[in-house]
Amino acid sequence: MINPGQLVMLVSPKGKRYFRISNPEETINTNDGQLQMQKVMERGFGSRIDTHLGRTYTVLKPTLYDLIKSVKRRTQIIYPKDIGYIIVKLGIGPGSRVIESGSGSGAMTTALAWFVGNEGRVYSYERREEFATLCRSNLEKNGLAARVENIARDISLGFDQNNVDALFLDVRTPWDYLEHIPGTLLAGGPIGFLLPTANQVSTLLDALERGPFTSVEVLEILVRRYKPVPERLRPDDRMVAHTGYLVFARLAVDGPMASYPEEDDCLGDECDPC
């Protein structure tokens, strides 16, 4: 049984996905016929249900991956492979207060809202009104809008919040806004950046060296999928390679702060010496 207000994903025979916040009074119109949400809710997740034309749909509980891939986009979105590392690196969890700038279509905003929970808050800055509106629309469709404050404003004017837990900038010239981070982010708090080109990374690194920042890390994440055929397992012909450079740092606390090396390949006492 699906409760009212829960998010439901309906998958057509051809794989098309429909996302709906469950409302027993709603009738869903698809290319394959109508579905009554009351019957969908009664069947529950993992069930199958026929439209009035006899086409069978699968009822599933959407994952965050499903929501990100379903975002209606007018801009390039951040890929799930990058989002996962960003979330972990910034320590986003239930109750977190986090600022992001560069809402775009709202893929990263969706992930942040998912992880902060009902007790947390995402403050999403976007200088272009049309993108702020699109981001908001995608959040409402996914039932996450209540966790996000959308702010249509250029961050050259600074941030309204203070003592937030983390900050993420997906903007063209992040070095122009570093001066606004102290006083906004908790001392020692994590900051993340996404940049498409190496020369932008170099400019940002130079600016971070001259500011109150420490523990800087630069990386990119590559994903190679495999064809799931037991008799001839092999990589797909295409792969999601470079999508952007990720840069992370921490806001230094008052006084000297040790910068620690990132040893992601060697975790715990059981790891072989590098």
Give the tens place of pLDDT for each residue, 15-33: 999 999 999 999 999 999 9
The greatest distance separating any two alpha carbons of the chain, rounded to the nearest whole angstrom, comes to 70
Residue 264 has pLDDT above 60, yes or no: no
User: Contact 150/132 with Cβ under 8 angstroms?
Assistant: yes
User: Contact 191/185 with Cβ under 8 angstroms?
Assistant: yes
Residue 49 has pLDDT above 70, yes or no: yes
Residue 270 has pLDDT above 80, yes or no: no
Which band of pLDDT confidence, cut at 50, 70 and 90, is reported for residue 257? Answer: very low
Q: Quote the pLDDT of residue 271.
A: 53
Q: Quote the pLDDT of residue 240.
A: 79
Hey, which bits of the chain come out as E strands?
A: 7-11, 17-21, 27-30, 33-36, 48-50, 56-60, 97-101, 121-125, 148-151, 166-169, 190-195, 213-219, 226-227, 234-235, 245-251
Angle at 110 between CA 124 and CA 34, to 5 degrees: 130
Is the domain spanning 7-62 CATH 3.40.50.300? The answer is no
In SS3 terms, 167-218 reads as EEECCCCHHHHHHHCECCECCCCEEEEEECCHHHHHHHHHHHHCCCEEEEEE
Which band of pLDDT confidence, cut at 50, 70 and 90, is reported for residue 274? Answer: very low
Q: What is the mean pLDDT of the chain?
A: 91
Q: Which of 139-143, 168-172, 259-263 has the lowest mean pLDDT?
A: 259-263
Q: Give the list of residues 6+ apart from residue 221 with CB closer than 8 angstroms, or none.
A: 81, 82, 85, 243, 246
Residue 55 has pLDDT above 70, yes or no: yes
The two domains 7-62 and 66-251 share their CATH topology (first three levels equal): no
Domain spans, the chain: 7-62, 66-251
What is d(CA 89, CA 192) in angstroms, rounded to the nearest whole number?
8
Which of 3.40.50.170, 2.30.29.30, 3.40.50.150, 1.10.230.10 would CATH assign to domain 66-251?
Answer: 3.40.50.150
Q: What is the model's pTM?
A: 0.87
Residue 267 has pLDDT above 90, yes or no: no
Residue 269 has pLDDT above 60, yes or no: no
Neighbouring CB atoms inside 10 A of 247's CB total: 21
Q: Residue 265 is encoded by which pair of tokens? A: 């390949």
The mean pLDDT value for 82-99 works out to 97
pLDDT tens-digit map of 146-194: 999 999 999 999 999 999 999 999 999 999 999 999 999 999 999 999 9
The mean pLDDT value for 27-44 works out to 94
Helices 107-116, 80-90: inter-axial angle, 10-degree rounding: 40
